[in-house]
């Protein structure tokens, strides 16, 4: 372990933050797939399954709005550790006897998990801003891309893990194993994370939770519709469609969606290379606009294939893969831009506000995914997705067009 001691304190803290984020994300992805497949197997309708997640998303909105303020006052180490503990508690709630595993109880557990997830994500993304010098924008973009990309790859692994565990050890066995693993990570984090990381020098007032930055407000609005465009067909409609229309079992659905998210995470990780960092440039609002327009083409093409009944299965699978790659680049660009736009002191306030909009997009997408698929089918979900991406593109017109062109490195 001598090599670890030779690393700079910033690198070691980055590794702890990333490790926490990875462990949390693995359980979060597995839990989502467990809930979708388990309750679908019990005969729940798509809308009923979507409702199981509604508190997860609602409390994600609230947590991001308040969590940034808490992070600035308490320190990001504390908010990250609180998030880990709350996820352990949420998993514990699902270990009750089957007779008590009612819809309200599962919704309450998902609410706790939603709070935990967004405390953890806000803390991780905000921490990176404080570990990278302000003149090293290229390095900041690279680290954010690695953190975000690896997180989504592990979320995909979590989807696969959820499907496999449900088949091998059942719902309760899967939840118990994840709770034990995450409790160990939580204890390690308490001992390892730097105290007062991200605590603002000037204690922010609660009224400062709303961003006063025009750039952050525009980016947050664009982010809301961007993630709504994904979740309106991905969260409930797609896995239920694959299971009911293609006849795929739990392993196949979980494995396919896992592969999709892992590939999505890989593209996020290399996004800086795809968007010009190697040529000495970091992205600005023009890049966000261009990639959003490219993304909007895919749901339109898939929806047209459904309308004309033209190789629907092949187009859906292929289109989903391309959509995932383009969405990954859009998401990585946004993740860099918010950390770049955010102020140094109390960075979590700006990041929290931005991820509040992200959670609002997921909430809208999740509810619409269940309702639209149940009443109108997958093709309508795709058309709504295209409309949301159009709104993302229009909002992106207001993003700043010039960013610092340095790609300085962190030693």
Q: What pLDDT score was predicted for residue 392?
A: 96
Q: What pLDDT score was predicted for residue 225?
A: 96
Cα–Cα distance between 265 and 261 in angstroms, integer? 6
Token representation of residue 293: 């327009």
The domain 8-396 is placed in CATH, from the list 1.10.460.10, 1.10.3720.10, 2.60.40.10, 1.20.1250.20, at 1.20.1250.20
CB atoms within 10 A of CB 100: 9
Q: Are the C-beta atoms of 66 and 120 separated by less than 8 Å? A: no
Would you kindly state where each structural domain of the chain is located, as residue ranges?
Answer: 8-396
Cα–Cα distance between 355 and 123 in angstroms, integer? 11
pLDDT in tens, 75-96: 777 888 888 999 999 999 989 8
pLDDT in tens, 346-399: 555 677 778 788 888 988 998 898 889 888 989 999 999 999 999 999 999 988
Q: What pLDDT score was predicted for residue 5?
A: 55
Q: What pLDDT score was predicted for residue 138?
A: 60
On average, the pLDDT of the chain sits at 79
pLDDT in tens, 211-251: 567 888 889 999 999 999 999 988 788 888 888 888 887 67
Dihedral angle sign, alpha carbons of residues 244, 249, 250, 256? negative
Cα–Cα distance between 368 and 46 in angstroms, integer? 10
Residue 315 has pLDDT above 90, yes or no: yes
Q: What pLDDT score was predicted for residue 199?
A: 55
Q: Are the C-beta atoms of 358 and 216 separated by less than 8 Å? A: no
What is the pTM (predicted TM-score) of this model?
Answer: 0.70
152: left (phi over 0), alpha (psi -120 to 50) or beta: alpha
Q: State the distance between the two ends of the chain, measured CA to CA, in whole angstroms.
A: 20
């Amino acid at each position: 372990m001598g090599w670890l001691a030779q690393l700079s304190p910033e690198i070691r803290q980055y590794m702890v933050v990333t490790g926490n984020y990875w462990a949390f994300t693995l359980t979060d992805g597995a839990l989502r797939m467990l809930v979708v497949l388990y309750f679908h197997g019990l005969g729940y309708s798509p809308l009923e399954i979507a409702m199981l997640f509604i508190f997860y998303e609602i409390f994600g909105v609230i947590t991001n709005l308040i969590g940034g303020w808490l992070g600035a006052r308490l320190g990001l180490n504390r908010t990250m550790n609180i998030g880990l503990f709350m996820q352990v508690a949420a998993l514990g709630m699902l270990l009750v006897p089957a007779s008590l595993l009612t819809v309200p109880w599962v919704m309450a557990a998902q609410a706790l998990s939603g709070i935990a997830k967004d405390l953890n994500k806000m803390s991780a993304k905000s921490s990176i801003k404080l570990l990278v010098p302000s003149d090293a924008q290229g390095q900041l973009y690279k680290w954010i891309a690695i953190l975000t990309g690896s997180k989504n790859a592990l979320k995909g692994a979590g989807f696969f893990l959820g499907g496999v565990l449900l088949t091998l050890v059942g719902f309760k066995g899967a939840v118990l194993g994840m709770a034990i693993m995450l409790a160990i990570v939580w204890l390690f984090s308490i001992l390892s994370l730097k105290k007062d990381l991200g605590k603002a020098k000037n204690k922010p007032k609660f009224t400062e939770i709303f961003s006063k930055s025009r750039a952050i407000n525009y980016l947050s609005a664009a982010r809301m519709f961007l993630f709504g465009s994904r979740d309106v067909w991905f969260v409930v409609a797609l896995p239920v469609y694959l299971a009911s229309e293609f006849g795929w079992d739990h392993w196949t659905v979980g494995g396919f969606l896992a592969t999709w998210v892992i590939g999505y995470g890989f593209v996020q990780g290399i996004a800086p290379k795809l968007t010009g960092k190697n040529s000495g440039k970091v992205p600005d609002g023009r890049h966000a606009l261009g990639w959003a327009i490219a993304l909007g083409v895919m749901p339109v093409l898939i929806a047209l294939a459904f309308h004309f009944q033209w190789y629907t299965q092949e187009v859906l699978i292929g289109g989903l893969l391309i959509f995932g790659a383009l969405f990954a680049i859009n998401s990585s660009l946004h993740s860099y831009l918010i950390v770049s736009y955010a102020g140094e002191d109390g960075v979590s306030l700006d990041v929290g506000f931005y991820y509040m909009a992200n959670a609002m997009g997921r909430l809208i997408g999740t509810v619409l995914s269940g309702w639209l698929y149940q009443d109108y089918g997958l093709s309508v979900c795709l058309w709504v997705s295209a409309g949301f991406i159009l709104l993302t593109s229009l909002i992106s017109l207001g993003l700043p067009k010039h960013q610092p062109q340095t790609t300085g490195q962190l030693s």
